Amino acid sequence: MTAPVVRFAPSPTGKLHVGNVRAALWNWLLARRDGGKFILRIDDTDQERSTRDYEEAIKADLTWLGLAWNETVNQSDRFARYDAAKEKLIEAGLLYPCYESAEELDRKRKLQRARGLPPVYDRAALTLSEDEKAALEAEGRKPHWRFKLSQQPAVWTDLIRGETTVDTASVSDPVLIREDGMYLYTLPSCVDDIDLGVTHVMRGEDHVTNTGVQIEIFRALGGEPPQFAHHSLLVGKDGEGLSKRLGSLSIEAMREAGLEPAAITSLLAKLGTADPVIPVADLDTLASGFDFDRVGRAPARFDMAELEALNGKLLHETEFSVVADRLAADNVDEALWLAVRGNIERVSDVKDWAQIVRGEIDPVIEDVSFTDQAAALVGDALDQESWGALTSALKEKTGAKGKKLFMPLRLALTGKPHGPEMAAIFPLIGAEKARARLKGERA
């Protein structure tokens, strides 16, 4: 099989969020698995809404996630190709001008619904004579341009949905060019996919009808349609759409919140599949496991709590070398990282434990006599065995055991009722600080 050529095609009119990043990731995984090519296509034909800042933010998000691309294409550089395609379709009698206003089209649709008919464009513009067109243009009307569908079924074998049919007789001839001359998504996308040799188009199931239309446009332009795969859409844990929550679900917001890129890719790679969601730090490992046969049809539920938990699990397995640069400013060494990583949800949490271990705290003393006795038992040189030695000696001396033995010591030494294993933390605190804290002194 020829190595796949895939593309991710965001519009630089907003921030990337989990929904469109899932599509980007799955395309990237397919290309990576089979030694293919991943193209970043910037859909910036809408030059009023598209901005360079959003384009750079998209690239920054993809880079942070580890989704490197092989080639960048900006649609705003390719208008000459779209103009040529437009002329080809006009010459073939497949692209025709329409002069109805938005209000007139809306009235037509309402009348059709009232009569129990589907609100499909009636192709009235095809009956206009040249004189009638000239008269409409003399009134100041500018045409929008529609593609003339065959009104026959478009059939393809979808890599996720199986055999899929769209009856183009039930679909309005799509508008490819607006009244102001702006190309809408459909025509440039087909032109680009042909020119770039795209072999697979993977996107949300909300594009299924578009695919039926685009298959006809591909063939009208002399191209062969790529293979299509339409995955289910993401919904919230409550089953509702994510559209109202996309601000908080942007990749930028997640990065600023301290989430790890590997946690995001680990979750999004498996949502909507039969595979379990587990932390996977290596994208190549995710790619090797990508399989269309494992993808389901049901909506995939995205739960921020699941992502948060996965983030913690990932960090619990992360080696110090991976985060060393990010922790250098807080003077965190490998010993401290290994001691606390099992109790953090974000890398930034380590800073709090660095303060507890190396800074000053206000110890919590519940029984002065008990902690004074503990202070007297602290040796001069602490190591991994020191905690066990201290608690054994204190248990023998006081008779305390279980929570009554360990909780007063933890509160005095860390000021917190929960945290990392004390056997690992105790030697990092050091003998002098430990004695002082057990005596109730700020240290």
Strand ranges (E), 205-245: 227-231, 234-236
Supply angle C-alpha 32, 35, 41, rounded to 5: 65
Q: Give the tens place of pLDDT for each residue, 341-370.
A: 999 999 999 999 999 999 999 999 989 999
How far apart (Å, rounded) are the C-alpha atoms in residues 201 and 300?
A: 19
**Residue that is written with structure tokens 């909506």 in the block:** 299
Q: Give the tens place of pLDDT for each residue, 252-277.
A: 999 999 999 999 999 999 999 999 99
62's tokens: 């993809």
In the chain, where are the structural domains located? 5-73+184-232, 81-177, 236-316, 320-358, 368-438
What pLDDT is recorded for position 241? 76
10's tokens: 């965001």
On the 0-12 / 13-18 / 19+ scale of CB atoms within 10 A, 350 is: buried
Q: Which of 376, 402, 378 is nearest to 390 (CA)?
A: 378
Supply angle C-alpha 142, 145, 148, rounded to 5: 150
Q: What CATH number was assigned to the domain covering residues 81-177? A: 3.90.800.10
Strand ranges (E), 180-328: 200-204, 227-231, 234-236, 300-302
Per-position DSSP letters for 30-86, written without gaps between them: HHHHTT-EEEEEE----TTT--HHHHHHHHHHHHHHT---SEEEEGGG-HHHHHHHH
169's tokens: 């007789």
What pLDDT is recorded for position 53? 96
Residue 62 CB neighbours (<10 A): 22
Average pLDDT, whole number, for the chain?
Answer: 95
Q: Give the tens place of pLDDT for each residue, 363-396.
A: 999 899 999 999 999 999 999 999 999 999 999 9
Does 139 score more than 90 pLDDT? yes
Q: Give the tens place of pLDDT for each residue, 69-100.
A: 999 999 999 999 999 999 999 999 999 999 99
Kindly give, in sequence order, each residue whose CB lies less than 8 Å from that of residue 77, ignoring residues fewer than 6 positions away: none
CATH fold for the domain made of 236-316? Glutamyl-tRNA Synthetase; domain 2 (1.10.1160)
47: confidence class by pLDDT, cuts 50, 70, 90? confident
* % of the chain residues with pLDDT over 70: 98
Q: Which of 91, 123, 71 is nearest to 222 (CA)?
A: 91
How far apart (Å, rounded) are the C-alpha atoms in residues 68 and 101?
A: 44
What pLDDT is recorded for position 361? 95
What pLDDT is recorded for position 247? 63
Does 244 score more than 80 pLDDT? no
What pLDDT is recorded for position 216? 98
What's the predicted TM-score (pTM) here?
0.91
3-state secondary structure of 315: helix
CATH fold for the domain made of 5-73+184-232? Rossmann fold (3.40.50)
Residue 161 CB neighbours (<10 A): 17
